[in-house]
Amino acid sequence: MTVSETRSDRVASTPLAAAAAAGSAPRTLEPTVLSTRNLSVWYGSSLALNKITIDIPRNKITALIGPSGCGKSTMLRCFNRMNDLINGSRAEGEVRFDGDLISGENIDPVVLRRRIGMVFQKPNPFPKTIYNNVAWGARINGYRGDMDELVERSLRRAALWDEVRNKLNRSGLELSGGQQQRLCIARTLAVEPEVILMDEPCSALDPISTARVEDLMEDLKEDYTIVIVTHNMQQARRVSDLTACLMLDDAATDGHRTGILAEFSPTDLLFTTPKDKRTEAYITGRIG
């Protein structure tokens, strides 16, 4: 049985079902939600990513794996313009979201970041109450509906509601690490994004919390696209539908670590029959 076959059968129906369920205005149902063309990123004079071309499909979990320093987090941050916050970073090439250009000069990152949310490696809830942690994002984006209902819905979706329903007025910082990370996911869900970027979300968590977050990701895939950076290859195998393997560019001669896209395929294919030698060496543990 090839898991990918059954998954690709579901491609056609999932976006429709998702759009109908969300009740949103019909949008183009291209299978690709994020794409890059020859994306290169510099930090100062050091080239971090070299001509990455990739198409991230909608309503799937895409994993980015690779050794340290090959630019996985950099690539993730290109999608929601968080690289702009890093002094000296510069990008060339195209990044498109739903067909619209999001790289370049005239993009409003505020609008973009609401549609593409991010969960960070170390859980970073606000020093506010649990309720306000979830509600703040919606409030500043002008949410007009019932806030209590939105908070409950987001916490349920993040599989945290039952644990915090009686202490919504306690500080978010009183929760355990795994609960804090789920709170961060809840607050990201509250602004109703289309894509969720996750930068090693489980690396600071214990195995049980990790398992919970992974189950959560499976559940969220129906309505959101998820791109996850992970060091943990077992996690990539368990959770993702497609995997992109980034490698250090052997041709880089200036001593800096530059990342290139070595391979991008459905997860089971990449891990059983990798096409690129470097990918094979990485996943079998010979390098990285």
Q: Is 87 in the site for another protein (CB under 8 A)?
A: yes
Work out whether 143 is an interface residue with another protein (CB under 8 A): no
Instruction: Please state the closest distance from residue 103 (CB atom) to another protein, in A.
Output: 18
| Cα–Cα dist 43/116, whole Å | 23
226 binds another protein (CB under 8 A): no
- Considering the complex, what minimum distance in angstroms separates the CB of residue 174 from another protein? 8
Min separation Cβ 260 and another protein, Å: 27
The answer to whether 117 contacts another protein (rule: CB under 8 A) is: yes
Q: Which two tokens stand for residue 187?
A: 């607050």
For residues 147-176, which are near another protein according to CB under 8 A?
171, 173
Between residues 132 and 265, which has the closer beta carbon with respect to another protein? 132
Q: Considering only CA atoms, which of 147, 156, 39 is closest in space to residue 102?
A: 39
- Please give the Cα distance from 225 to 137 (Å, whole number): 20
Using CB under 8 A, pick the residue from 33, 41, 64, 118 that binds another protein. Answer: 118
Amino acid symbol at 217:
M
**Shortest reach from residue 199's CB to another protein, in Å:** 10
Q: Is 257 left (phi over 0), alpha (psi -120 to 50) or beta?
A: beta
- Strands (DSSP E) contained in the chain are 32-43, 46-57, 61-65, 89-97, 100-101, 116-119, 195-199, 225-229, 242-248, 259-266
Map residue 40 onto helix, strand or coil. strand
Radius of gyration of the chain (CA): 19
To the nearest whole angstrom, how small is the minimum distance from the Cβ of residue 127 to another protein? 5
Which of these ranges, 90-98, 110-118, 255-263, 280-288, lies near another protein under the rule CB under 8 A? 110-118
CA distance 99 to 33: 8
Stretch that binds another protein, among 19-27, 185-193, 223-231, 239-247 (CB under 8 A): 185-193
Report, in Å, the least distance between residue 91 CB and another protein: 17
Among residues 17, 19, 89, 120, the one that binds another protein under rule CB under 8 A = 120
Q: How far is CA 149 from CA 21, 46, 146, in A?
A: 18, 47, 5
Could you tell me which stretch among 35-43, 53-61, 128-136, 148-156 binds another protein (CB under 8 A)?
Answer: 128-136
- Work out whether 42 is an interface residue with another protein (CB under 8 A): no
80 binds another protein (CB under 8 A): yes
Query: Residues with Cβ < 8 Å from 73, sequence gap 6 or more?
Result: 199, 200, 229
Distance CA 165, CA 177 (A): 18
| Vertex 85 angle, CA 33 and 91, to 5° | 55
Of residues 70 and 186, the one with the C-beta less far from another protein:
186
**Total residues interacting with another protein, rule: CB under 8 A:** 30
Should residue 237 be labelled a site residue for another protein when binding is judged by CB under 8 A? no
Q: Which residue among 7, 11, 17, 126 contacts another protein (CB under 8 A)?
A: 126
Token readout for 13 is 């129906």
The residue ranges that bind another protein (CB under 8 A) are 80, 82, 85, 87, 110-115, 117-118, 120, 122, 124-129, 136-137, 140-141, 171, 173, 184, 187-188, 191
